[in-house]
Structure 1
Amino acid sequence: MRDAETVTFGGSALNRAAELRARPDEIAALLNDPAARAVPLWRGKPSIDGAGALGWVAANHPVLRDGEEPAIFLGSDETGPLFTIDLSAWQPETGADPVPASFFDATEQRHPGLPDGHRFAELRNIMADLSARDAECAATAKALIGWHRSHRFCSACGEESGVAQAGWQRVCGACGAVHFPRTDPVVIMLITRGNSALLGRSPGWPEGMYSCLAGFMEPGETMEAAVRREVMEETRVRVGAVRYLASQPWPYPSSLMLGAVGEALDETIILDPNELEAARWVSREDMARAFAGDHPEIRAPRRGAIAGFILRNWLADRLD
C-alpha cells in the first residue's frame, strides 16, 4: 500500500540512536541534558497532558525519581533526547483504580506529582489522536516497559536479571544470559469475495463490534500460510492468493500486526466457537454504513486499529 506507514503507530522516522545504548556514560549525559524529556507510564498507561498529547515532562522532573527501574532511552528528535520511565509502584487514591477485567479501561489516574492536567490513560483511547511521533514513542515505551515487567527473571537459570543497554536488554548476573525485547507477529487479514469482506467477532467484544480475522503466526510459517491457516481454523473458508498490505506495532502487549488481503475460494462459513462468537460476509455498502454510524448491527472498528485502516482503504479502492 502506498500509504501503509500512515497507520497509527506506523512510524515517524524517530532516530532511535541504537549506537548509544551500549554507552552508559553518554546515556547519563543525555538524561542530564536540559532538553531531555521523558514520558511516564503507569501500569501500561502513558501520561497525557491537558491537550490530549503525550504527557512529556523534563527528564529531571522530581516525580521520575519514583521509577522502579532506570529510565529507558527511546531515541532523539529535534527537541532533544527522549526517555520513558515506569511509575507503576505509585498507588492512586481510592476509587481511581483501573478496570483490568473490562474490554476497555476508561478510567484515568492523576498523579499529584505531575503537572496539572496530566493523567494516565488507556492508550487504546488516545492512540488515534496522537501525533505520529508521540504515537511511535508511546507504543515503544508501552511495549518495552511491559516486557521488563513480565521478563524480570532469566529464562535460562531463573535468577532475576538486570536492565542493560539503556533499557533494550536484560542481562542475568548469575549465568550471563542476554535477553532481548520480544515482538510477536500476528497476521490480520481482509478476506474478500466479490463485493464482500469476511469479518468476525470474539467473545466479550462490545455489541456490534466486528473486525478482520487475525491470529498469531506459528514457528516455521510464512505470513501467507498463516493467513490461510487462521481463516480455515476459524471459519473453514479456503483462501487462495494472499498479499501483504501494511504492518502496525500493536503494544497490547507486544505484537506486530502484519496486514494482508486474501481472496476467498468459497463463502460457506462453518464457525469454530472456540475461536469466534460470530462471523459474516459484509458488503461494501454495509461497511460504509457502519463507518457512517448508521448500520443496525455493525459498528465501525476502533479508531487507530489496522483493521479499520485496511477496511477504509478497501472501501476507497486504495489497497494497491
Structure 2
Amino acid sequence: MGWRARLLLMDGLLPVVDERGRLAWGSLADADTEAELVFFGLDDGRPCFAAVPGRGDASPRMANPALWAAMAALPADDLALYGGARSLCDWHARHRFCANCGGATGLAKGGWQRDCQQCGAQHFPRTDAVGITLVEHVDGRLMLGRGKGWPEGRFSALAGFVEPGESIEEAVAREVLEESGVRVRDVRYVASQPWPFPSQLMIGCHAIADDDALTVDTSELAELAWFTRAEVAAAMAGEPGARFAKPIDQAIASHLLRWWLAR
C-alpha cells in the first residue's frame, strides 16, 4: 500500500504551524497549480514536498520578527526540517534564470538542481560557509558584538563569510580583525549548524586574543564589548538586569556560549 505524499505548508517562506505548535502539512492538492514542487525526503515512507514561492527573500535576517518568533517556538526536529526546505525553496525562487546565458531554468533531480533550458548549464543549491567565533581574552573575558539593525541589548559572537582561497582559521582571524581591530590566535573548531538565511553553514570556533583594545567597524556593528564570565552566565540564565540579551536558543551562538560557560 502506497503512502500519500505530503506538502509542507508555508506562507511564502514563513512556516505554517498547527494547533500543537508543530509544522503544518497538507496534500499536493494544496499547492498552487503552477508552483514548482521540491522533493526533500521521506518520512516513514511518505514523500515530502515543498512548493517554491513566487519570490525569494533577500532581506536582512533581523528584518522579519514573525520568522524569528516562529523559529524560536519550533521543536528542534521541525526547525531542522523547515530550515532545509526554506533554504532550498528560497534558492529556487531566486535562480529562475541562468547565470551563464540568462535563459530560463527549470527544476531538475527532484529540486536539487536547476537546468538551463537554453544552454543546458546545470546549477546547484549553494551553501555559504560562515565562521562564527567566540573571542576570549587571555584574562578570561569574552568579546561579543551587536549587529547593525539588531534589537538593543542583543549581543552575539562575531561572524563572517569564508572567502575564496581562505581556510576557516584565516577567515576567522581576518573577520575578527576587520570588525574589532583585534588579532587572534589559536583558532579551534567547536561545532557547526546549517542556518537558512538564506543558506549558510555556520562554523563555530573559539579564538584567543592578547590585546583588548577595540576598534569597532561601524559599517557592520552597532556595539562591541568585553564581558566577564559572570556577565555571560547571567545573560544566558535570563537574569533580570543582565548586561545583554542572549541569542535565541536555536542559534549556534547560544550553543557556543553554553559550551564556553561549561568549560
TM-score relative to the length of structure 1: 0.75
Corresponding letter in the other structure for 1:277: A
Coordinate RMSD, CA, aligned: 2.1
Larger CA deviation: 286-295 vs 137-146 = 286-295
The Cα shift of 1:79 comes to 5.2
Extract unaligned runs of 5+ from structure 1.
Answer: 1-31, 90-99, 108-121
8 A contact 2:3–2:45 mirrored in 1: no
Corresponding letter in the other structure for 2:129: P
Paired-residue identity, %: 43
Extract unaligned runs of 5+ from structure 2.
Answer: none
Check 1:102–1:262 CA distance in 2 against 1; reply closer, same or farther (3 A cut): closer
Distance 1:101 1:71 in 2: 26
Is 1:105 equivalent to 2:64 in the alignment? yes
Aligned to 1:248: 193
Aligned to 2:102: 158
8 A contact 1:164–1:171 mirrored in 2: yes
The Cα shift of 1:33 comes to 4.5
Is 1:209 equivalent to 2:176 in the alignment? no
Corresponding letter in the other structure for 1:63: D
Distance 1:291 1:147 in 2: 34
Aligned length in residues: 258
Is 1:300 equivalent to 2:246 in the alignment? yes
Which of 58, 67, 77 aligns to 1:133? It is: 77
8 A contact 1:52–1:126 mirrored in 2: no
Higher-RCO chain (CA-CA 8 Å, sequence separation at least 6): 1
Aligned to 1:258: 203
Aligned-partner SS, 2:9: strand
Which of 224, 241, 255 aligns to 1:309? It is: 255
Aligned to 1:11: none
Corresponding letter in the other structure for 1:77: D
Which of 11, 27, 32 aligns to 1:42? It is: 11
Q: Counterparts in 2 of 1:283-294, with a 5 A limit?
A: 283-293=228-238, 294=240
Distance 1:224 1:160 in 2: 39
Aligned-partner SS, 2:62: coil
Aligned to 2:214: 269
Aligned to 1:85: 51
Distance 2:223 2:157 in 1: 12
Which of 169, 182, 186 aligns to 1:237? It is: 182
Is 1:176 equivalent to 2:176 in the alignment? no
